[in-house]
Homo-oligomer: A and B are copies of this chain.
Amino acid sequence: MGENNLSISEKTCSLKEVLDIIGGKWSMPIIYILSKGKMRFKELERSVEGINTRMLVKELKNMEVNGIITREVFATVPPTVEYTLTSKGEKLLPSIASLHQWGQEFASGM
């Protein structure tokens, strides 16, 4: 308890519930970066600026549970784990890109 990630699997999913899933500090940045394609854990850790191991693990797990990403393990030495956006996850990209875009306009005075 205390550190559990919640998965919402049924019923309607309001905006608030969507935000419960991907409204955290790191979900959207991660999704955004994963839009460029499959990535390994360490790559992600380097790409998502400012994140630390714990947070990355947590968010990835959360997103996997919620069907936003896929986790593939390869029995190599050293181990390889790749994360990919599911089609459900990809469907979030327009929203996120749009938010990012808004940030750009925002910056340029407006």
Write the residues of chain A forming the contact surface with B, with a CB cutoff of 8 angstroms: 10-19, 22-23, 25, 28-29, 32, 49-50, 67, 88, 91-92, 94-96, 98-100, 102-107, 110
- Tell me how far the C-beta of A92 lies from the nearest C-beta in chain B, rounded to whole angstroms: 6
- Contacting residue for A88 out of B14, B16, B110, CB 8 A: B110
> How long is the Cα–Cα vector from A73 to B48 in the complex, in angstroms?
42
Across-interface contacts of A23 in B (CB, < 8 A):
23, 25, 28
> How long is the Cα–Cα vector from A10 to B42 in the complex, in angstroms?
32
Binding site secondary structure of chain A? helix
Across-interface contacts of A25 in B (CB, < 8 A):
16, 19, 23
Copies of this chain in its oligomeric complex: 2
- Tell me how far the C-beta of A14 lies from the nearest C-beta in chain B, rounded to whole angstroms: 6
Chain B residue with Cβ nearest A87: B110
Across-interface contacts of A29 in B (CB, < 8 A):
15-16, 19
> How long is the Cα–Cα vector from A19 to B48 in the complex, in angstroms?
14
- Tell me how far the C-beta of A58 lies from the nearest C-beta in chain B, rounded to whole angstroms: 17
- Tell me how far the C-beta of A25 lies from the nearest C-beta in chain B, rounded to whole angstroms: 7
